[in-house]
Amino acid sequence: MSVHISKYNFSILHIDYVKLNNKWNYSNVISPYFRLYYIDEGTGSVSDSAGKLILEPGYLYLIPSFTICNLNCEEYLSQFFVQFFEESPDGISLFNNNRNIMKLEADDVDIVLIKKMLQNNPGRGINRSDNPKVYEKETYYKEYRALNDKMKIHQKFENQGILLLLVSKFLNSASFKSIYPQIASSKILDTMSYVQLHLNENLTVMQLAKRVNQSKDYFSKQFLLHTGERPLHYIHKKKIERAQYLIATTNKTFIEIAIDTGFANLPHFSKIFKQIVSLTPGEYRNQNNDLK
């Protein structure tokens, strides 16, 4: 499946260099943006459903958006971090099929790029708390997006270029390529893109199977074989990812978000949201918006 890189845009939310201690210990963090870490001293860990990675000096770590993870430091950890939104006209992420945390050894160029980006974006740290439940709020997102709007064009291009260079390393990594090694069916790939482009519709497995001229049972088996997920769960997961983004970054009501993500009614939307996020839509919005 070809990827047109020109359609992807990364916008910086936060960037800083911080020294952390055992207070940096948070569970079930899930954000509508990406996190990129470069560790220069100490140790810590990040974990998700796929396992646990040790944060150690000399390595880069990428946590894709909507990845539920745990952050931990037992004693001391210093890191450069960048938090950024990914945007594309069709809403399809470069990491659409990979929500796992990734780790790569950093080289001298990576370190120079991160330090250059930090130098070019002063005052873009969180400056409130290390706790995501404190700084992940719609008010703060709007505040930093306003800063981006005031940024000079050459700064935007430089930030975009650095992020593209750093992200490209993960796209070329073995860990990224091995997530769905069996995906070879153009019909499955086409279906995955179709789902992302039609999240506002009431998609059914039968409808998707008919699109590719397959029976429902055969299509479901092939989808599970190539992706490791049942098609209905995949549909729901992508709809709820979009809903999380809308809850975190807009003032839309839950019924408006339910309609925008193709749910027939609010109870069904709330039920599926709770199943996937382990929080109700209201609890998720409070986690993002409650000032503490």
Give the closest residue to 242 by CA, choosing from 199, 194, 202, 288.
199
Q: Are 222 and 188 in contact (CB under 8 A)?
A: yes
Mean pLDDT, the chain, whole residue set: 84
Residue 68: the pLDDT is 79
The size of the chain, in residues, is: 292
Least confident of 37-46, 104-113, 171-180, 251-260: 171-180
Residue 291: the pLDDT is 28
Specify the domain boundaries for CATH 1.10.10.60 within the chain.
Answer: 186-289
What CATH homologous superfamily does 186-289 map to? Homeodomain-like (1.10.10.60)
Which tokens in the block code for residue 54?
A: 């040790």
| Global pTM value | 0.69
Q: What is the arithmetic mean of pLDDT over 235-242?
A: 91
Structure confidence by residue, pLDDT tens digits, 189-201: 788 878 888 899 9
Q: Of 3.40.50.720, 3.30.1130.10, 2.30.40.10, 2.60.120.10, which CATH number belongs to 5-177?
A: 2.60.120.10
Q: What is the arithmetic mean of pLDDT over 160-173?
A: 89
Residue 152: the pLDDT is 87
Specify the domain boundaries for CATH 2.60.120.10 within the chain.
Answer: 5-177
Secondary structure of the chain as H, E, C letters: CCCCHHHCEEEEEEEEEEEECCCCEEEEECCCCEEEEEEEEECEEEEECCEEEEECCCEEEEECCCCCEEEECCCCEEEEEEEEEEECCCCCCCCCCCCCCEEEECCHHHHHHHHHHHHHCCCCCCCCCCCHHHHCCHHHHHHHHHHHHHCCHHHHHHHHHHHHHHHHHHHCCHHHHCCCCCCCCHHHHHHHHHHHHCCCCCCCHHHHHHHCCCCHHHHHHHHHHHHCCCHHHHHHHHHHHHHHHHHHHCCCCHHHHHHHCCCCCHHHHHHHHHHHHCCCHHHHHHHHHCCC
Report the distance separating Cα 185 and Cα 183, nearest Å. 6
Residue 49: the pLDDT is 73
Q: What is the arithmetic mean of pLDDT over 167-173?
A: 86
Residue 149: the pLDDT is 78
* Cα atoms in the 13 Å half-sphere on the side-chain side of 101: 25
pLDDT surpasses 60 at 242: yes
Give the closest residue to 102 by CA, choosing from 36, 26, 11, 13.
36
Q: Are 84 and 117 in contact (CB under 8 A)?
A: no
CB-count exposure of residue 12 (10 Å: 0-12, 13-18, 19+): buried
Q: In what order do the strands lie in the sheet with 44-48?
A: 25-29, 69-72, 44-48, 51-55
Structure confidence by residue, pLDDT tens digits, 51-103: 899 999 999 999 988 887 889 999 999 999 999 988 776 666 778 767 789 99
pLDDT surpasses 50 at 288: yes
Q: Are 273 and 122 in contact (CB under 8 A)?
A: no
Report the distance separating Cα 239 and Cα 117, nearest Å. 33
